[in-house]
Chains A and B, each alone.
Chain A
Amino acid sequence: MIPLAVFEPGGDAATALYILAFSLFIVGIRRGTHPTTAKQGNMIAAVGMAIAVATTLLLDGIGNWGLILGGLAVGTAVGVAASLRVQMTQMPQMVALYNGVGGGAVALIAWSEIRHGLGVEVPLEELVPILFSAVVGSISFWGSNVAFAKLQDLIPTRPLAVPGQQVINGLLLIGILAACVSIGINNDDISQPLFIGILIAAALLGNLVVLPIGGADMPVVISLLNAFTGLAAAAAGFALDNVALIVAGTIVGSSGTILTLEMATAMNRSVANILFAGFGGAPAGGPAGGGEERPHTSIGAQDAAIKLAYADSVVIVPGYGLAVAQAQHAVKEMADELERKGVTVNYAIHPVAGRMPGHMNVLLAEADVPYEKLREMEEINPEMPRTDVAVVIGANDVTNPAAKNDPDSPIAGMPIIEVHEAQQVIVIKRSLSPGFAGIDNDLFYEPNTSMLFADAKQAAADIASEVQGL
């Protein structure tokens, strides 16, 4: 329709612009690792992406403009609408969803490449990356969708175990590899049905691998799938001879792997452990379900306000419950009231507070909590015995002393905020129900713990007004 073609595919001019684009990605990621430059870094990477897209649109021979512009328009509309409407609390599942569609795109591109190769001999150096991107893209698409559904509470967050899980996964993987080898051997006569079978088997595998993983481990899984999608994109670059795809995909793959390992370390879990042994996969978390009611102390907002207002130092431990209740502003107001009474208030941030590392920092920053009041776990734990009152708001597993004291606990060894060391603990929570890991929290039943059963936002607002009246 429009003779825009300026660049020869694979020519020097196009390649030079691709090199510019991926250089901007590298600078963007580099800046993204520092708080003061991160926003700018994201912009720089986005500019790089715009250059890469524009260059590709101007390649000689590109046609079907209606199709392309339609796809771009639909994608942009959905992306913009979703990004503007999503709540800060829903960020992790949003990232999962974006990662999923990226993986889906890779798998579809691989399918299209295979269709181009029907009836002719496809060299292995093209076929192997095509098959790799098809398998990994399909796993990533479905795995990310399951992760999204779990975080969005569309399906139960607790681990869903299928009997014989590992065996089924193993068989699926062997089947996929065998089918790939078969296509590789018959690379002059590729069977499209067999290829579609591979896509479906990889889709099943993606579902089955992520379903048994508990919600608490989901951030690590999303990060891992992110790295996988990067590698799949790089493989697509090999198949298409596109240097921008190779470099950008590989960098996401390797940096994503490092990020995944850092996250797993923060939770004291190994990636293998997360993938192959879901929390409570064995019914170790038995007491969570039925069982007798254990004795605990319950208080109201007024008592909590008195405890807090006459303390010298208070540490607030925010968790995902705070995020769900959108309580960050109410909690900030409560802290302001306490500070007016001369109480020192700090926030103890567990490395995986919320549902992703750094998630809670974002939420509290949104409520104008000053940076220097957000204290990291290692920094605040030694101060706990000198803390008068620790207020746990919507956090659960990250405060469970069983992680330190009970070697048989499913979360044994996970680093925790040691609130049980504080003089007194107030836990604001809707009920005694177990957290993401699906296990009971001994903290609730300690003699110096008081439970305040309420919605986090309401409770914080009530305490703030009670403190004001004191």
Chain B
Amino acid sequence: MDLIVEITIFVLAAFVGFEVISKVPTTLHTPLMSQTNAIHGIVMLGGLIVAGFADDGVEYAIGFIAIAFGTINIVGGFMVTDRMLGMFARKPKKAPADPEAPKP
């Protein structure tokens, strides 16, 4: 890919990130930080590429640790976010205001 194309993508993505996060209720700050934290675990792809083409002992070690670290970041990040958000799940007995709820 051309450098200039990559820079274009970078700048546009930066604006998307700014826009997408506007007006977040305080309640969701921690879960949202945790979710974006899980998303940067995408670096694990870099670990896969590095390990997939590794050809000496040091690189095997580096690749292995990078994959393990990245996977912890991804799996742990999404699971912990899910647990946090699970706390906000509507309780069946006294459903608070949610017009979309199809329950009686």
Q: Residues of A with Cβ closer than 8 Å to B? A: 9-10, 25-26, 28-30, 32-36, 38-39, 41-43, 45-46, 49, 52-53, 56-57, 59, 61-64, 67-68, 70-72, 74-76, 78-80, 82-84, 86, 88, 91-92, 94-95, 97-99, 101-102, 104-106, 108-109, 111-113, 115, 125, 222-223, 226, 229-230, 232-234, 236-238, 240-259, 262-263, 266, 349, 351, 356-359, 361-363, 365-366, 368, 370-372, 376
Contact = CB atoms under 8 A, between A and B. Distances in A.
A368 B91 CA distance: 8
Given A67-B60, A251-B16, A61 B43 contact: no
15 contacts: A26-B20, A32-B35, A42-B78, A49-B39, A67-B64, A98-B76, A241-B6, A247-B13, A255-B20, A257-B18, A258-B21, A357-B26, A361-B27, A362-B31, A362-B87
Given A79-B75, A101-B72, A266 B26 contact: yes
A233 B42 contact: yes
Given A39-B88, A248-B42, 5 more contacts: A53-B44, A105-B67, A229-B40, A253-B17, A259-B33
B30 A242 contact: no
Nearest to B9: A246
Nearest to B85: A39
A46 B33 contact: no
Contacts of B88: 35, 38-39, 362, 365
B83 interface: yes
Contacts of A80: 75-76, 79
A359 to B, nearest CB: 5
Contacts of A76: 71, 75
Nearest to A377: B26
A255 B21 contact: yes
B39 to A, nearest CB: 5
Contacts of B73: 79, 98-99, 101-102, 105
B71 A75 contact: yes
Interface string B24-39: 1111111111111111
Contacts of B86: 39
B17 A251 contact: yes
Q: Which of B9, B20, B26, B82 has the most CB of A within 10 A?
A: B26
Contacts of A257: 17-18
Interface string B42-59: 111111111111100011
B57 to A, nearest CB: 11
A256 B36 CA distance: 7
Contacts of B26: 266, 349, 351, 357-358, 361, 376
B103 to A, nearest CB: 14
B70 A29 contact: no
A102 B44 CA distance: 8
A15 to B, nearest CB: 9
Nearest to B86: A39
B67 A262 contact: no
Nearest to A41: B35
Smallest CB-CB A-B distances: 6 pairs: A75-B71, A71-B67, A254-B17, A79-B75, A62-B52, A79-B76
